Amino acid sequence: MAKTNPEIALDSFDLAILTILQNDNATPQRMIGEAVNLSAPAVQRRIKRMEQAGVIQANCAIVDPAKVGQPITIFVEVEVISETAELIDAAKAEFSATPEVQQCYYVTGEADFILVIVAATMADYEALTRRLFFGNSNVKKFRTFFAMDRVKVGLRVPLGDKARAS
C-alpha cells in the first residue's frame, strides 16, 4: 500500500485544481490551466505532487449501482459486545474484505460501526447479514436502514472558494 508522504502545503492553485478534478478528472490539463491561469505542465506537476503526497488518493470511475444490478443501498449500524483492540481490528478487517461493504466507519456514539452496503436483492442482503453479523459472535445487535433515495452521493470534499482566477 502506497504510504502517504509527508504533509505538503497547498496553495489556492492546488485547491482550484482539486475542485476541478473532483468534478471530472478527465479534464485536459490545458483546460485546467486556462481555468486557473497556469500552464499545462505546471498543472501536471502539481497534480503529480498531490498524488504522491496522498492528497489525491485515487482516480476512479463512479458506477451507478442500479445500472449494474445492485439496486439496493443499505445502512447498517453495528454494535459489538467486546471492544478490545483485537476484536475491533478483526471486525475492521472482515468488513474491509467484503466487497458488498462499500464503506465502513468506526464511530463513537450508540453504535460502533456504520456500514454502507450495496446488494442486488433482499435475499442477498439477508445472506450477508447471516455471514457478517449472525456469524460473528461479537456482534451484539445491528440496525438496518434501507435507502429509498440516494439523494446525494459522492466523496467530494468542500474546499471553500479559494479558487483563483487572476
Is residue 42 a contact residue for DNA (CB under 7 A)? yes
Stretch that binds a second copy, among 29-37, 38-46, 56-64, 79-87 (CB under 8 A): 56-64
Residues in CB range of 6: below 8 A, 6 or more apart: 53
Categorise residue 140: left if φ over 0, alpha if ψ from -120 to 50, beta otherwise.
Answer: alpha
Is residue 136 a contact residue for a second copy (CB under 8 A)? no
- Compute the least distance from the CB of residue 71 to a second copy, in Å: 11
# residues near DNA by CB under 7 A: 16
Is residue 29 a contact residue for DNA (CB under 7 A)? yes
Is residue 87 a contact residue for a second copy (CB under 8 A)? no
- Compute the least distance from the CB of residue 42 to DNA, in Å: 3
- Helix or strand or coil: residue 156? coil
Residue with cell 445472506: 127
Amino acid type, 117: I
Cα three-residue angle 164-154-49, rounded to 5 degrees: 50
- Compute the least distance from the CB of residue 8 to DNA, in Å: 8
Cβ 54 vs Cβ 4: under 8 Å: yes
Q: Which of 5, 45, 81, 145 binds DNA (CB under 7 A)?
A: 45
Task: Report how far apart the first and last C-alpha atoms of the chain are (Å, whole number).
Answer: 38
> Binding string to a second copy for residues 33 to 52, with x set by CB under 8 A, is what?
--------------------
For DNA, the binding residues (CB under 7 A) are 13, 28-31, 33, 37-42, 44-46, 48
